[in-house]
Amino acid sequence: MLHAYLIPMDADTQRAEINGITDATRTAARAKFERDQFEQHYRQWITLVASDIALPMRNAEQTAIKAVISRCDQYQKDPPSMYTAVPNDLRSLMEQLVGFDRLKGILLLSADMVAFAPSMHMQHQNILDYAIAMNRRFFFKVYWFPIIVINQSFIEQADERMLHFVLEHELIQSEMYTEHVAAHGCRPFSFDEKRAIDGQALHLAVERSGITQDEHIKERELMHDISMSAPPVPKTFAETSLYEYLDKHWEEIKDLGVKGETESEAEFAAMISQEHDWIDFSHEIYGLFLTSLKEKLDVTYLEYGYA
């Protein structure tokens, strides 16, 4: 038989324990309040943004609008379908452009969508940045997965110098973010930090790719054209869809994973392994966005019957 004995605490110890519990409760309540406030503001923002995004879409052909809405519906039903693995011949070309070792272990994907988010260059909620490429590093199951995604239309229309430039930009940003996390831990990046990293990465990408000013202007024009015609997706949903892609294609991509090497990486891994409600929230946000987008388009094109 097991016997348990209660050891009485002295007044100071008991008071310290009560104070600790009280502080922890207050911290948790404050975190929940801040999270609830963030989610409420984000819901309001995404419905407003849908109206802004619908404006240029109204000028497109009916068939083009229907195609975009159809793809957006498909993303909602099957988020990982947003992404496709880059074929081996294209991967070989990319390795020639930036070097085999720099792409080793990186999951290269293409997507026909563009991700949007509040601009990092102008602090105004209605000014958006559209991304035809993005890089992420996720911890999934037991490994870290570095990922680079490039818009399929950009891949098809850009010349090699433009593609080299975009790859350099994403790789350099990824390296800078990794170094920053290793040095400062996994705290959120400030607006100024994100803008500084983007600016430095842009400068280095221009140098390493050798892209000329005229070529860079053409690259920006192509990005703009694609952002006006491709299916728009909130960055939050694009990111969680990547996470879900890893789950769906685990057997195909598991050999690309690498184990974390720093203490800050281990802390981040533990944090995100316990935090899954961000996926549910991103699905909710995308649903709100898509519903609002269809409503705004139906105001002008009632005969299209998107709703």
User: What pLDDT was estimated at residue 91?
Assistant: 97
Average pLDDT of the chain to the nearest whole number = 84
pLDDT in tens, 60-72: 898 999 999 999 9
**Minimum mean pLDDT range among 31-40, 106-115, 181-190:** 181-190
- Tell me the pTM: 0.82
307 has a pLDDT exceeding 90: no
Percent of the chain residues past pLDDT 70, beyond the cut: 78
User: What pLDDT was estimated at residue 306?
Assistant: 47
Nearest to 92 by CA among 76, 103, 77: 103
Q: Under DSSP, is residue 258 helix (H, G, I), strand (E, B) or coil? A: strand
As a whole number of angstroms, the distance between CA 149 and CA 132 comes to: 8
Of 47-51, 75-79, 295-299, the range with the highest mean pLDDT is 75-79
254 or 225: which leads in pLDDT: 225
User: What pLDDT was estimated at residue 59?
Assistant: 87
Stretch (H or E) spanning 27: helix 11-57
- In this structure, are residues 162 and 211 in contact, taking their beta carbons and an 8 Å threshold? yes
User: What pLDDT was estimated at residue 4?
Assistant: 44
278 has a pLDDT exceeding 90: no
- In this structure, are residues 285 and 79 in contact, taking their beta carbons and an 8 Å threshold? no
As a whole number of angstroms, the distance between CA 297 and CA 291 comes to: 10
pLDDT in tens, 108-153: 999 999 999 988 766 666 689 999 999 998 888 778 889 999 999 9
171 has a pLDDT exceeding 90: yes
279 has a pLDDT exceeding 80: yes
User: What pLDDT was estimated at residue 125?
Assistant: 61
User: What pLDDT was estimated at residue 5?
Assistant: 42
For residue 71, how far is the Cα from the chain centroid?
18
User: What pLDDT was estimated at residue 35?
Assistant: 78
pLDDT in tens, 200-245: 999 999 999 999 999 999 999 999 999 999 999 999 999 999 999 9
User: What pLDDT was estimated at residue 20?
Assistant: 58
Q: Which segments of the chain are extended strands (E)?
A: 83-85, 107-111, 114-118, 128-131, 133-140, 143-151, 232-234
- In this structure, are residues 259 and 48 in contact, taking their beta carbons and an 8 Å threshold? no
50 has a pLDDT exceeding 50: yes
User: What pLDDT was estimated at residue 86?
Assistant: 97
263 has a pLDDT exceeding 80: no
